[in-house]
Structure 1
Amino acid sequence: MIEYETFDLGDFPLQHGGTLPGAVLAYRTYGELAPDRSNAIVSPHWFAGTHTANEWLIGPGKALDTDRYFVVVPGLFGNGLSSSPSNTAAPYDRGRFPKVTIHDNVSAQHRLVTERFGIERLVLVAGASMGAGQTYQWAVSHPDMVERIAPIVGSPRTSPHNQVFLEGIRAALTADSAFCDGDYEDQPRTGLRAFSRVYAGWGLSQAFYWERLYEQLGFATLEDFLVGFWEANFGDWDANDLLTMVWTWQHADVGLTPGFDGDTVAALASVKARALVLPSERDLYFPPQDEEWTVRQMSDARLRVIPGLWGHLAGGGADPEAAAFIEASLRELLAER
């Protein structure tokens, strides 16, 4: 059983208009909150994940050391635990679930942190992939609250090339005739398999496949890897939930934060947090060159590239060398005064 708690948001207003009635935010906490509430970290998770996605970094003696820090891992809207198409009542169920943005997610998380726990300052916000997008949004939306950020294999806005990838997996899933415009009775299994196989070509680098590194994960053949890793990863997800998170990712841009009128450069320039930006050397979604640009827009930011052949998945802890690199980087950032 996945243990988590929920925070009731009530009728939650959304950035693009409309309201998500009876909204809930799933979350889990780790460690103890200090009496003065000075040891809090927020660690948003990635696409198609829950709080368990970040647990490789959290615990006694780990980078997010629960002997020292109180770590909050909030759940994305659409992840099946927070408000999602699969758990929301009509008329906002299934394909009628409203469009939610990264800004909406962080607004809900801010309410959780401040209203449930009374936290006024965050030692760190750190997350990977879509978690990195939320990390940037935290620093833009709440510049006086966030002391440090560590966006891992992610970006402050979704690039056109990344949008093309997302359009590809969306099209693969919705092309299944069983999808029925989101009103399916049974999950569109053919579409979910196609979604998984398109994803497989982007999540890891070309060199990962040339070197057959999937064998390190226990898969003897490429087909075994596609079925046993990628199809298994997405096979139990609700299709509408996945599409909600795809839309959120596809439309991410901190420049759309109220007050910036779409100006991503101005939004990044407003960040007061010390930033350690951690792209992956072979990432096909968020290449280091893109994040070099991002770092130049912030006043106190530096870039550190995760080495290796694991591409985007270098940010998830599966590669021991990349995991050690990320952990060491987070420890260094937290030690800085």
Structure 2
Amino acid sequence: MADYDIFELGNVVLQSGATLRGAKLAYKTYGRLNASKDNAIVYPTWYSGQHTENEWLIGPGMALDPEKYFILVPNMFGNGLSSSPSNTPPPWDRARFPGVTVHDNVACQYRLVTEKWGIERLRLVVGWSMGAQQTFEWGAAYPQMVERIAPFCGSARTSRHNFVFLEGVKAALTADDAFQGGWYERQPTKGLRAMARVYAGWGFSRTFYRERLDIEGMGFASLEDFLVGFWEGLFLPRDANNLLAMLWTWQHADISANPRYGGNFEMALGAITARALVMPGQTDLYFPPEDSEYEVAHMPDAELRPIPSIWGHCAGGPGVNPADVKFIDEALKALLQS
């Protein structure tokens, strides 16, 4: 049995101009909504991740404590549970799945929060990586509703360098002859393995590899064991078209790319009135701290607190390094108490 619920959105007109017909938003909740409806937290998923892969930051005694808070984890479009290339019926299935932006994702999450539960205020929105992009979007799109945001290892707008990194990921995946332009009958496993190898050079820092933490910290027998066991093992179970759909979302992330802000990035950042704790990974290779510094400088109530870790982007998740988990959890506790 599925451990999540589905919110039926009907036909959703997207920023791309296409319509996502019969759109479905998969979600899971942890804890109970109180009578005053003021204990809600939204915690979106990350690139390729599903709600269960967010659970490392949820638990009794942690900042995201289901005994205190009502924690909603919405699954991003394209992740295989919400509407995705792999589960959308023809003619919009597989390679025809329309481009969905971060703005589209959050607008549908807003509908879930308000239409299903009648929630008017969110105690916190928090997320890692693409979850952080959705967190920034929540703050800019619904400033009157969001009290606090805590994006970590992510950005309010995808940088040009980050865009190029993703082009390499995309090229590796689609170069497999089995991909067939997205109309494959079986998963393009060579492409998925190649994609994993490209990703491996970016997800962790140079110092992580220099210190041999793949062996000393994660218990793999060799570098090759790590590349196969961790990285190929991460992406091989995923659907290739789903990965490409979420990659498109990532590349087009920009909190100002909407009629409200008209592409004025600084205006969009300035509209985030929520108390913000922005936590970049100190050694993150594609969401570097200097991007976060710029964002925080243009937000009215924001603090920059880099995660002091050599685990690169994966300092932020999915729960691979206990010291980083502790740092993030303690920071969230302080934010929620503020």
TM-score (norm 1): 0.99
- Distance in structure 2 (CA, Å) of the matches to 1:144 and 1:134: 16
- Distance in structure 2 (CA, Å) of the matches to 1:333 and 1:257: 29
> 5+ residue gaps in structure 2?
none
Give the deviation of 1:208 after TM superposition.
0.5
1:138 has 2:175 as partner = no
Match of 2:256, SS? helix
Q: Kindly tell me: are residues 141 and 96 of structure 1, through their superposed partners in 2, closer, same or farther at Cα, counting changes over 3 Å?
A: same
8 Å contact from structure 2 (residues 16, 98) kept in 1: no
Give the deviation of 1:231 after TM superposition.
0.3
> What is aligned with 1:256?
257
- Distance in structure 1 (CA, Å) of the matches to 2:231 and 2:257: 33
> What is aligned with 1:14?
14
Q: Following superposition of structure 1 onto structure 2, how do residues 41-56 of structure 1 map, counting pairs within 5 Å? A: 41-56=41-56
- Distance in structure 1 (CA, Å) of the matches to 2:287 and 2:115: 34
**% same residue:** 61
Give the deviation of 1:58 after TM superposition.
1.0
Give the deviation of 1:257 after TM superposition.
2.7
8 Å contact from structure 1 (residues 30, 59) kept in 2: no
Task: Please give the per-residue CA displacement for 1:132-161, whole angstroms capped at 9, x wherever unaligned.
Answer: 000000011100000000001000000011
Q: Following superposition of structure 1 onto structure 2, how do residues 1-337 of structure 1 map, counting pairs within 5 Å? A: 3-215=3-215, 216-316=217-317, 317-336=319-338
Task: Please give the per-residue CA displacement for 1:265-285, whole angstroms capped at 9, x wherever unaligned.
Answer: 110111110000000110001
Task: Please give the per-residue CA displacement for 1:190-239, whole angstroms capped at 9, x wherever unaligned.
Answer: 10000000000000001111111012212010000000000000001110
- Distance in structure 2 (CA, Å) of the matches to 1:285 and 1:329: 22
- Distance in structure 2 (CA, Å) of the matches to 1:54 and 1:62: 13
Which runs of structure 1 show a deviation greater than 4 angstroms over 4 or more consecutive aligned residues? none
Give the deviation of 1:258 after TM superposition.
2.4
Match of 2:121, SS? coil
Amino acid at match of 2:270: A
Q: Kindly tell me: are residues 315 and 2 of structure 1, through their superposed partners in 2, closer, same or farther at Cα, counting changes over 3 Å?
A: farther
Task: Please give the per-residue CA displacement for 1:235-273, whole angstroms capped at 9, x wherever unaligned.
Answer: 011100000000000110001032111111110111110
8 Å contact from structure 2 (residues 281, 308) kept in 1: yes
- Distance in structure 1 (CA, Å) of the matches to 2:202 and 2:298: 27
Task: Please give the per-residue CA displacement for 1:155-207, whole angstroms capped at 9, x wherever unaligned.
Answer: 00000110011000001001111111000001101100000000000000011
8 Å contact from structure 2 (residues 261, 267) kept in 1: yes
Match of 1:227, SS? helix
- Distance in structure 2 (CA, Å) of the matches to 1:213 and 1:228: 14
Match of 2:324, SS? helix
Aligned pairs, number: 336
> 5+ residue gaps in structure 1?
none
Task: Please give the per-residue CA displacement for 1:2-36, whole angstroms capped at 9, x wherever unaligned.
Answer: 51111000011101212100000000000000011
- Distance in structure 1 (CA, Å) of the matches to 2:187 and 2:303: 44
- Distance in structure 1 (CA, Å) of the matches to 2:2 and 2:130: 21
Task: Please give the per-residue CA displacement for 1:28-72, whole angstroms capped at 9, x wherever unaligned.
Answer: 000000011110000011100011122111121111011110000
My pick for the range that moved more, 47-56 or 133-142, is 47-56
TM-score (norm 2): 0.98
- Distance in structure 1 (CA, Å) of the matches to 2:277 and 2:249: 24
Give the deviation of 1:320 after TM superposition.
1.1
My pick for the range that moved more, 52-61 or 267-276, is 52-61
- Distance in structure 2 (CA, Å) of the matches to 1:325 and 1:59: 15
Match of 1:10, SS? strand
- Distance in structure 2 (CA, Å) of the matches to 1:55 and 1:319: 14
Amino acid at match of 1:323: V
Amino acid at match of 1:136: F
8 Å contact from structure 2 (residues 29, 73) kept in 1: yes
Amino acid at match of 2:294: W
Amino acid at match of 1:25: L
8 Å contact from structure 1 (residues 141, 257) kept in 2: no
- Distance in structure 1 (CA, Å) of the matches to 2:325 and 2:123: 21
RMSD between aligned alpha carbons?
A: 0.8
8 Å contact from structure 1 (residues 280, 288) kept in 2: yes
